[in-house]
């Protein structure tokens, strides 16, 4: 298999351990020797930020051209880490999809991604499925934990408007509770969220931490306060 190595570092990364162009090149050469593949050349982008589009970089444009080629002269591109392609998640994902479905493969040494063979592409797909499942499970467990803390009256994150944190417990703040009661009365009279905010601001009523009221902040405090979330969500709909 014939491969091209791609190395990139920004100005701030030049002296960073493991991120210098030389360090990346050594890792790529070592991998190629271990894997028994032929390293045709090293394409380099020195002092180039990862926020710059791949096609707009001097070296990156050559990699982009290889991706566009129907019959590229090499089989794969080898990089040390995925962030060498770019730091923008959306752009990086687009490149990964192109590598996974096109004629050019990709090997990311540190990330252990190999899109240069059918087996490697299949394993990458399976890994993506499990990664997505794990993210979903983590989100579900976090939401359940927060609901339990909230039901028990315990601090579960930023202290919501109308409450204070006392030894890990949520305790009603008398002043803010009166403001909440006023907000509910205004909403019951048909005031929009923004009109409620304007009324509070004109009367000099501060929001949490002394900030200004906005329509979205009024809606948010009503949704997060116990006992009114369901009604406010339905009303907003």
pLDDT for 232 equals 32
Reply yes or no on whether the pLDDT at 57 is more than 90.
Answer: yes
So which residues are the catalytic ones? 10
What pLDDT score was predicted for residue 38?
A: 95
Give the residue among 112, 83, 73 at the shortest CA–CA distance from 6.
83
Q: What tens digit of pLDDT does each residue of 146-155 get?
A: 566 555 555 5
Q: What is the pLDDT of residue 2?
A: 94
pLDDT in tens, 182-230: 999 999 999 999 999 999 999 999 888 778 899 988 988 888 775 433 3
Distance in angstroms (rounded) separating the CA atoms of residues 111 and 174? 53
Please state whether the predicted TM-score (pTM) of the whole model is above 0.85: no
Is 33 in a helix, a strand, or coil? helix
- State residue 113's pLDDT score: 83
pLDDT at position 78:
95
* CB 96 within 8 Å of CB 22: no
Write out the E strands in 73-114.
76-79, 105-108, 113-114
Closest CA to 213 of 190, 191, 189: 191
pLDDT tens digits, residue range 89-122? 777 778 888 888 888 999 989 888 888 777 676 6
CATH number listed for the domain at residues 2-116: 3.40.50.1390
Nearest-angstrom CA–CA distance, 190 and 185: 9
Q: Say yes or no to pLDDT of 145 above 60.
A: no
Reduce the DSSP state of residue 13 to 3 states and report it.
helix
Reported residue count of the chain is 237
Tokens at 57, concatenated:
């970089």
Q: Answer yes or no: are the C-beta atoms of 231 and 208 closer than 8 Å.
A: no
b/e map 131-169, b = 16+ CB within 10 Å? eeeeeeeeeeeeeeeeeeebeeeebbeeebbbbeeeeee
Q: List, as own/partner pairs, every contact residues 146-153 make where C-beta atoms lie below 8 angstroms and the sequence separation is at least 24, other chains included.
A: 150/226
The residues spanned by each domain of the chain are 2-116, 118-152, 153-236
Q: Do 8 and 59 touch, CB atoms closer than 8 A?
A: yes
Q: Which two tokens stand for residue 228?
A: 């009114």
């Amino acid at each position: 298999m014939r491969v091209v190595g791609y190395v990139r570092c920004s100005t701030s990364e030049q002296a960073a351990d493991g991120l210098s162009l030389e360090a990346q090149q050594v890792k790529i050469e070592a991998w190629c020797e271990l894997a028994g593949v032929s390293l045709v050349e090293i394409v380099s982008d020195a002092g180039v930020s990862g926020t710059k589009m791949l096609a707009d970089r001097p070296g990156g444009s050559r990699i982009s051209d290889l991706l566009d080629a129907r019959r590229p002269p090499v089989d794969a591109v080898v990089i040390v880490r995925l962030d060498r392609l770019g730091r923008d998640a959306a752009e990086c994902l687009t490149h990964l999809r192109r590598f996974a479905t096109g004629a050019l493969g990709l090997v990311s040494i540190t990330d252990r991604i190999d899109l240069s063979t059918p087996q490697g592409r299949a394993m990458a797909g399976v890994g993506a499925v499990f990664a997505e499942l794990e993210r979903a499970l983590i989100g579900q467990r976090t939401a359940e934990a927060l609901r339990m803390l909230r039901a028990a009256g315990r601090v579960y994150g930023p202290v919501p408007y109308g409450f204070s944190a006392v030894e890990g417990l949520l305790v009603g703040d008398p002043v803010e509770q009166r403001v909440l009661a006023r907000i509910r009365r205004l909403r019951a009279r048909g005031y929009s969220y923004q009109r409620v905010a304007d009324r509070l601001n004109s009367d000099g009523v501060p929001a949490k931490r002394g900030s200004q009221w906005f329509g979205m902040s009024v809606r948010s405090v009503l949704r997060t306060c116990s006992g009114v979330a369901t009604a406010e969500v339905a009303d907003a709909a």
